[in-house]
Structure 1
Amino acid sequence: MGVHLNQQDIRLAIADVSHSVILEKSIEVEPGYSPQCAAAVVRDIVTVAYGVCGLDISALLGVGVSVCGPVSPGGMVQRANGMPTWAGVNISQIFGAVLEKPVFADNESNCSALAEIMWGAAAGYEDFVLLKLDLGVGGAIVRNGKVITGVAGGGGEFGHMSIEPNGGLCRCGNRGCLEVQIGVDRSLQEMSRLYGRIITIYDVSAMASQGDVGARRMIEDMAEQAGRGLALIGTIINPPLVIVSGRMTRAGDMLLKPLVAVYEKHTLMKARDVPSPMRTRVMIGKLAENDAVLGAVGLALRGLAALP
C-alpha cells in the first residue's frame, strides 16, 4: 500500500505483489494536521478500503509513505518544507506503531521517480533524472535503477539549488533557490490579484490553451528558469533521460518546448554535437497526477523485497 501526505489531503493506493493497482482514494484533511492524526486517518481509510475491495486486512504486507521534504534512510523527515511541523518526525515509527506493518518512507519526488520506473515513462531505463514542477520544485536522481537519496536524504533536491545568491528568500532559509526563481506559487498569487479571482495551477494550463497571454507568459517564464536549472543538472550528470513531472506539465508542449530550448542553450552536451543515441531525451512523465502515491506503493514493494 502507498500513502502520499499532502498539505490538504491524504492519498492512498493499494496494489498487489504483481504491481497491479487495485484501488486509489483521496481524503481531505485540515491543514496543519499532525503525524499521529495522519496515521489514524490512514488506518481508518485502509480498513474501509480493504472492506470495499473484499480483502482481509491481514493481507496488508507493508506501507510506503511519500512526504514533502528530505527523508533520512531511517524514515525521519529532515526538513519538512511543505509541512514544517513534521521536521524531526520518524514516519516509519509513528505509522508502524499504528498500522502494525513494516513502513517505508521517502521524499515525494523520489517516490515519483519510482512510479515512472514501475509504471511510467522511465520503464526500461536504469539511469535518469526527474524534475518535478508543481507548487514547489523537486527532483530525483536514479542510477542503476535505484534512487540516490544521499547520506541524509537530501539527494536530488533540485528546487533548493541556490541559482541566485542575492535572490528572493526561500522557505528553506537560503536565497535564490530554483524553486524561488521558477516561482509557481508567487506567479499564481500575482495572477489571482490581476484577474480578481483565485487562479489555481490547473487554471493556468486551461487558460493558456485558450490563448490567455498572461497564462502563456507565466508558463514561458517558468520554462526559462526551469530550463536553466535543468541545464546545470544536465552538465553535472549528463543523463540519458530527463522526466519532467508535476501538475505544471498539464501545459504540455507550451512548457516543454521552451524548457528544452533553454536547456539546450545552457547545457554542455548539446544535441547537435552528439549522435542520437548519446542525446539527453527530455519528456513529460506519464503519471503526473498520482506519481507520488504510486511511487509510495513501489517503495513498499521494494522495501518488502529487501527484507531478510
Structure 2
Amino acid sequence: MPQGSSLERLRETNRRAITMLLAADGPMSRADLVRGTGLSRTTVSSLVGDLIATGHVVETADRGRPHKGGSGRPPLLVALTTPSGGVAGVDIGHRHVRVAVADRRGAVLAEETVVLDVDLDGEAALDRAADMVRRTLDGAEVPPADLRAVGMCVPAPLDRRSARVRTRILPGWRELSPAEELHRRLGVPVFADNDANLGALAEVGHGAAKGATDVVYVKVASGLGAGIVLGGRLHRGTTGIAGELGHVQVAEDGQVCRCGNRGCLETLVSASRLMSVLQPAYDEELSVERVLELEVEGDAGVRRVISDAGLAVGRALADLCNTLNPEVVVVGGSTGASPALREAIRAAVDRYAQPDTAAALRIVPGELGKRASLVGAVSLANARVAV
C-alpha cells in the first residue's frame, strides 16, 4: 500500500474525529479540540485549517473562556457550518423500532416508535424501519431529497470487516448487512453500529459523560453490553466486538447463553433473568418498569436480586477498569435506571479494582434513558456527513 494513501486515510480519520466532536459538543476552541480528540496541537491546527478552507468549519465571532479560568484573551471558537437538509436516526431494539428525523445540528424534528419483535426477521424489520423513516420525514416536513444520511443502531455487534451481523444473538439477521439493506430501501448513505456504542456516543456528546474523554457506557437491559470511548474516540476493536461485557464467562458449567457459550455474565443479569428469579414471589405479572417501582417502594426482595446482579456486573467491570482506567462509567439501559444496581456496581468496583483506579472513577446513571441509542444514531449520521 502506498505510504501517501495510508497517511491520507489517517488524516481523514483525524478530520472525522474533529467533526464528530464539533457535531456532538458545538463550537469549541482549538485547545478544547486537542483535549477532546487526543491529537497534537499542530495536527489539530492543520486539520482545522483544511476544514475552514473547504467550508466545513468556520470560526465564530464568539470567544470561549480561557482554559481552567486562566487570564488572557479568550480563544476563538470553531464550529461546523450549518448545512441544509436533515438526517435520520433509527434505533432497532429487540422489541421496538424508533425513528427520529433531525436537522444537521441534531435537533429532533419528528419521532415515531413502534413495538415490534425484530429478532427473527431482519428483512421485515428493515422494511418497517424504512417506512417509518419516510413517514417521519413527512411529519418533520423534510423532503426525501433533503435526507443526507441515516444512522442506525442494532442490538448486536457488527463485524467491522464486513459490516454484517454474524452473531447468534439475532438469528433472523445472520449475514445481513443492516446498513447496506437500509441504504437499498432508502437510497441514502446509512451508517450502522451496535446499541451500546451509540449509547456511549450519545452520553458523551449530550448526556452524563459530556466533557469526559475516557468512558465506559454499560447498557443493562435485555442483554448486557458496553460502549468504550478512549481519548474521546469510540473504540470498536479489530472486528467490532469490543465491549461485549455480557459474554465474559463467569461459570464454566452455567446456563447456555444466546451467544452459544455457557456461563456468560448476561445469563445472570439480563432483564429476563431477573424477572424469572423474582416472579415466583409475586402475584402480579412483573415487568422491568414494575420492578423499578417496587425498588422505589423499598421492596427487600427486589433490592436483593438487583444488588446481586449489580455485584456481578461490577466484578467484571472492575477488571475492565483496571485495564482501561476510565474517568466515568455510565450505567444505562432499562435496568440501569435502578439505584440499587449502581450502588452494587460501585461496591464491587471498589472491592476488586485497583484502589487508584476505583478512586478516580465516577459511576453515574445515564441521562438519556431509553433514547440514548436513538440520539447516538442521529449523532452518527450527522458526524459522517460532516466532512
TM-score (norm 1): 0.91
Give 2:80's aligned residue.
none
Which residue does 1:162 correspond to in 2?
249
In structure 2, the CA distance between the partners of 1:6 and 1:183, relative to structure 1 (3 Å rule), is: closer
Q: Does structure 1 residue 303 correspond to structure 2 residue 384?
A: yes
1:187 to partner: Cα distance = 2.1
Partner of 2:192: 105
Match status 1:76 vs 2:194 = no
Percent identity among equivalent residues?
30
Match of 1:126 among 213, 230, 235: 213
Partners in 2 of 1:47 and 1:176 — Cα distance? 42
Q: Which residue of 1 is the match for residue 132 of structure 2? A: 45
Q: Does 1:290 align with 2:371?
A: yes
Asked if the contact 1:131–1:243 (Cα under 8 Å) also holds between the matched residues in 2, the reply is: yes
* Greater relative contact order (Cα < 8 A, sep 6+): 1
Residue 19 of structure 1 is matched in structure 2 by: 106
Asked if structure 1 preserves the Cα contact closer than 8 Å seen for 2:122 and 2:172, the reply is no
SS at match of 2:369: coil
How far apart, CA to CA, are the structure 2 residues paired with 1:284 and 1:169? 30
Asked if the contact 1:11/1:24 (under 8 Å) is kept, the reply is yes
What is the aligned partner in structure 2 of residue 258 from structure 1?
344
The answer for the alignment partner of 1:225 in structure 2 is 312
Give yes or no for contact 1:238–1:269 (8 Å, CA) kept in 2: no
- Please tell me whether Structure 1 or Structure 2 has the larger radius of gyration of its CA atoms: 2
Q: 1:271 to 1:125 in 2, by over 3 A?
A: closer
Q: CA deviation at 1:33?
A: 5.3
| Equivalent-residue separation in structure 2 for 1:148 and 1:157 (angstroms) | 12
Give the structure-2-normalised TM-score: 0.73
Q: Which amino acid in structure 1 is aligned with residue 243 of structure 2?
A: G
Structure 1: how far apart are the matches of 2:212 and 2:286?
A: 37
Q: Which amino acid aligns with 1:184?
A: A
Matched with 2:239 is 152
Shift of 1:11: 0.7
Deviation at 1:183, TM superposition (A): 4.3
| Contiguous gaps of at least 5 residues in structure 2 | 1-87
**2:91 is the alignment partner of 1:4:** yes
Taking the aligned partners of 1:157 and 1:183, their CA distance within structure 2 comes to 13
Query: Deviations along 1:50-76, whole A, 9 cap, x unmatched?
Result: 222222121111111111111123421
* Residue 271 to residue 44, structure 1, CA distance change in 2 (3 Å): closer
Deviation at 1:179, TM superposition (A): 1.0
Counterpart CA distance in 2 for 1:172 and 1:32 is 13
Cα distance in structure 1, aligned partners of 2:270 and 2:140: 41
Secondary structure of the residue that 1:305 maps to in structure 2? coil
Aligned residues: 299
Amino acid at match of 1:289: K
- TM-superposed CA distance for 1:210, in Å, is 0.9
**Alignment of 1:269 onto 2:352:** no
Residue 259 of structure 1 deviates from its aligned partner by 1.7
> Quick check: 1:235–1:269 contact (8 Å CA) kept in 2?
no
- Residues of 2 paired with 1:46 and 1:153: CA distance? 26
Distance in 2 (alpha carbons) for counterparts of 1:6 and 1:66: 8
**Conservation of the 8 A alpha-carbon contact between 1:75 and 1:104:** no
Letter in 2 for 1:57: P
Distance in structure 2 (CA, Å) of the matches to 1:71 and 1:50: 27
Which AA in structure 2 matches 1:76? R
Pick the aligned partner of 1:136 from 213, 217, 223.
223
